[in-house]
A and B are shown apart, each in its own frame.
Chain A
Amino acid sequence: MKKSTCIITLAAVLSLNLPGAEKARAHAFLDHADPRVGATVAASIDRVRIWFDSVLEPAFSTVSVHDATGKTVDKGDGRVNPSDARLLEVSVPRLAPGTYRVTWSVVARDGHRTTGDYTFVIK
């Protein structure tokens, strides 16, 4: 068999042997957030919400909000929204003006973990 034929054969084998049920799934990355990444908001907020581009595993997905000194300021009720498995949210008390950092650690349904952070400012 020629080598070029061999490569084509390999590609065909890959496509045939891999079950259709194994449709594309992936790491979960931030799609958008409220407050928006890097935003300055005029008034205080009551919660932080992050939408991801993949469905999350609720038992292994967490989110926290920290102030400029690193102290956790959220209410500790971070969770994946029961009616939207791409939405991770946490409540916060009335926040004083300043810079806040949101950190998250999420596991997509296929078991891939991603972590990340961003900041926003309360004016």
Chain B
Amino acid sequence: MRRLNSPVFWVAIFMAATLAGTAHAHGIAGNRVFYPTLTIDDPAVMDELSLPTLTTVRQNAASDGSAQGFRLYDFGAEWDKRITENFGLAVNADYLLQHNDDGTTGKGFDNFSLTLKYKAFVSDAHEFMASVGVTREFGGTGSGAVGASANGSTTPKIYFGKGLGDLPIGYLRPLAVTGTCGYQFSDKRNSDPDQMNVGLSVQYSLPYLQQHVVDIGLPAFFARVTPLVEFNLTRVQGEQVTGTVAPGILYDEKSWQFGIEALLPMNGATNTNVGVIAQMHFFLDHLFPDSLGKPLFR
């Protein structure tokens, strides 16, 4: 894991990315564009950069007094790079600020993670996309002051996206559902139990409505907006399910996207107040089609 901490590693990755490759990309299946979502990963394999993803949420104190409450600020970044047209990797980093109720502040990086993803199937006619991947969290690369675990984990995942544009449902054709499901195998299960993670998004694409169903003369701004709700559930082995419901909007400007969502706790066990997540997202295949935005190998 030392390599990921080294600027030499980043520069090497960058240089490799600019050396070879071809262009083509985006999360497109027929008429459908699967936009990057904020709390769950989308099924596409793309050249993209999320910088920054800002999250703030208040975690309440544990009811049994075992843990104090705190407000968390998360400054996240993710870089996705295609190796081939359908295979890519993503590197995630999050810098956390944790203001505890006792007046102390913890700060530092969360553990780094690396995801490999393969886009296995696309049906243009049925607006369907499916991918498989695996995420490796490198234990001990983050700061204990913000709760980064010393133990790592490995999470195999499946991803899918399905647009409803192939169905005879009129004004509901702009609807799409994306989802991901992963099982996180902890390196040390006695201290960090395994957990199941499930994510789902339901989107209504106003661009799709305008371009493929009926042009209702939306103003330019609204013709780029996709309202959505994301659901994120986690079940740690032996514990109750926790999660968030995140309603919000995505605004797509082709080469970049801005998204903002409320983070609502799904149940009492989630034990948070309402939070907010916002993200600036850059489509590198649009911005830099001849260098960073193309796969390393065709």
Does B290 contact A22, Cβ atoms closer than 8 Å?
yes
Given contacts A7-B93, A17-B14, A37-B210, whether A115 and B124 have CB atoms under 8 Å apart is yes
Cα A13 to Cα B51 in complex, Å, equals 14
- For B283, list chain A residues within 8 Å (CB): 26
Is B156 interfacial (CB 8 A cutoff)? no
Does A112 contact B212, Cβ atoms closer than 8 Å?
no
B86–chain A nearest beta-carbon distance, Å: 15
A119–chain B nearest beta-carbon distance, Å: 9
Does B287 contact A24, Cβ atoms closer than 8 Å?
yes
- For A22, list chain B residues within 8 Å (CB): 287-291
Contact of B95 among A4, A30, A118 (CB under 8 A): A4
Which residues 198-245 of B have a CB within 8 angstroms of A? 207, 210-215
Cα A21 to Cα B202 in complex, Å, equals 38
Contact of A29 among B23, B93, B211, B214 (CB under 8 A): B211
- For B157, list chain A residues within 8 Å (CB): none
Main SS at interface, chain B: mixed
**Binary CB contact string for chain A from 69 to 108 against chain B (1 if under 8 A, 0 otherwise):** 0000000000000000000000000000000000000000
Cα A24 to Cα B31 in complex, Å, equals 22
Residue of A nearest to B171 (CB): A38
- For B109, list chain A residues within 8 Å (CB): 3-4
Is B25 interfacial (CB 8 A cutoff)? yes
- For B28, list chain A residues within 8 Å (CB): 27, 114
Does B289 contact A25, Cβ atoms closer than 8 Å?
yes
Does B288 contact A26, Cβ atoms closer than 8 Å?
no
Is A113 interfacial (CB 8 A cutoff)? yes
Residue of A nearest to B31 (CB): A116
Is B26 interfacial (CB 8 A cutoff)? yes
Residue of A nearest to B10 (CB): A10
- For A111, list chain B residues within 8 Å (CB): 23-24, 289
Residues in chain B within 8 A of chain A (CB atoms):
5, 7, 10-11, 14, 18, 23-26, 28, 30-31, 49, 51, 77, 79, 93, 95, 109, 124, 207, 210-215, 254-255, 283, 285-292
Closest A-B pairs by Cβ, 5 of them: A38-B214, A37-B215, A36-B215, A30-B211, A110-B289
Q: A10-B14, A13-B11 are in contact. List 9 more A-B contacts (CB 8 A).
A: A7-B93, A17-B291, A24-B286, A27-B26, A27-B254, A27-B286, A113-B24, A116-B212, A118-B211
Give me 9 A-to-B residue pairs in the complex whose CB atoms sit less than 8 angstroms apart, sorted by A's number: A10-B79, A13-B14, A17-B18, A24-B255, A24-B286, A27-B26, A27-B28, A37-B212, A110-B290
